Amino acid sequence: MHTLPAGPRFPALQALKLARDTKRFFLDAVGRYGDPFTLPLPPGDVVVTGDPEGIREIFTADPSLFTPYAVLPLEPVVGRHSVLLLDGAPHRRERKLLTPPFHGDRMRAYGDLMAAITLRKAAELSAGAKFKAQDLTQEISLEVIIEAVFGVRDPARVALFREVIVGYIEAYTPPLMMIEPLRRSFGGLGPWARFQRFSERFHALLAEEIEARRKNGEVRDDILSLLLSVRDEEGRPMSNEEIDDELRTMLIAGHETTAIGMAWALDGIHRSSRIRERLLSEIRELGPAPSPEALVKLPYLSAVCDEALRLHPVVGMVSRKLLAPFTFRGVELPPGAAVMAAIVLVHHNPAVYPDADVFRPERFLERKFTPFEYLPFGGGARRCLGAAFALYEMKIVLGTLLSAHRFQVLSAEPPRVVRRNVTLGPSEGAPLRYLGPVQRAVA
């Protein structure tokens, strides 16, 4: 008989509370039950920790003890070959194949493209206009995926991909994700049928790109082309179906998440004249048109990105389901139970982050945090493969925007955190006003 740590009851009610206000739920539960506590959720009991030592136990444990927890609702949108859904040897193989495009010189090849897309999208803003920061950053992020990941550059085809992808993402609504009986066509008229139609169009577009790339054999630096060239230890390439699934995974895992992080950063920067001026001073030292490689090396810009992801982690927790008994925080947990690293909790732990509710980038210049204290991209054997790519994009987009354009917040009250499917974003998309281009001094 295994005794789990104390915690609340009624799974459906706890799932609702967790979705409504993730941070408040976790803080209240730790205050009442201590750390760790057991969270009953519809898929099964989860033992939750926000303590760095508990998180260390999860991330440094033998990966073979775990399998992904509650990820099956993602299968229709990312595919059964997605690295998010695999475990064991297939997961290790897929991670090894997917790692090279997101690191080193290959990743840095996309810097100029990211900057160009940023300037192109910002040029569409009108001086004095109100807009949602997240709308702008999502447009930029989506274009980066279409051009840098999928390798689509023809403007008409980029527009077609954009139309289909937006429909594809919007069609897979939270009810479809969480309520399996809704995934029926109902004579071609229901929400599932609508998602299926966009899914078929998206598959067809990806299949055309994959086939065209295989035929012409052109050496290109987009991620799709790189995936076509990789081989596993036995010399086997990725199949078309595997590539399709991983491209969709990159879209789902990297589009809205990166955009939300950038939107939070823009809001935080413009709520403090001290932070804004320090950052602008750092950027101005690079001249009127800073290069992407110069921007990513700026220490205060890096700290701003890190602090935005600390204060407002885009994903509030990461979980693992046990395949075997696991001793966690001195308690033996049975197979079938799950463990959760509550990112929101540890990122607001006052013992780790004094003034944890304050946006203060300087903390990342004052000390280095461990992977068990700062984990916006998860950790361990399942840490987000695109973490370096996302941070690279954040720095280039933010640095490029602020080097050329001026903004201000619209309200003294910061945005609330609201749930968007599995992500946590700013209410109303973090509204800003565009003040116009930066005025250069005339020599």
Rounded Cα–Cα distance for residues 243 and 330 (Å)? 42
> Dihedral through CA 127, CA 133, CA 139, CA 140, nearest 10?
90
**Residue type present at position 85:** L
DSSP states of 236-266: PBPPHHHHHHHHHHHHHHHSHHHHHHHHHHH
What is the Cα gyration radius of the chain? 22
Q: Which of 319, 343, 318 is closest to 52 using CA atoms? A: 343
Query: Would you state the structure tokens that stand for residue 310, as one six-digit string?
Result: 């600390």
CB 5 within 8 A of CB 47: yes
Q: Which of 440, 419, 416 is closest to 430 using CA atoms? A: 416
308 vs 190, 227, 269, 299, 347, CA distance in Å? 38, 31, 9, 14, 11
Q: Count each helix (H run) and each strand (E run) in the chain, helices first.
A: 20, 12
Q: Which of 297, 266, 251, 238 is closest to 148 using CA atoms? A: 251
384 a known binding residue?
A: yes
DSSP states of 111-162: HHHHHHHHHHHHTT--TT-EEEHHHHHHHHHHHHIIIIIS----HHHHHHHH
**Residue type present at position 374:** Y
Q: What 3-state class would DSSP assign to 373?
A: coil
Chain CA centroid to CA 426, Å: 14
Phi, psi of 81 (to 5 degrees): -90, 0
94 vs 100, 112, 238, 255, 414, CA distance in Å? 11, 28, 9, 20, 40
Rounded Cα–Cα distance for residues 347 and 316 (Å)? 10
Which residues are annotated binding-site positions?
A: 384
Which residues are annotated binding-site positions for heme?
A: 384
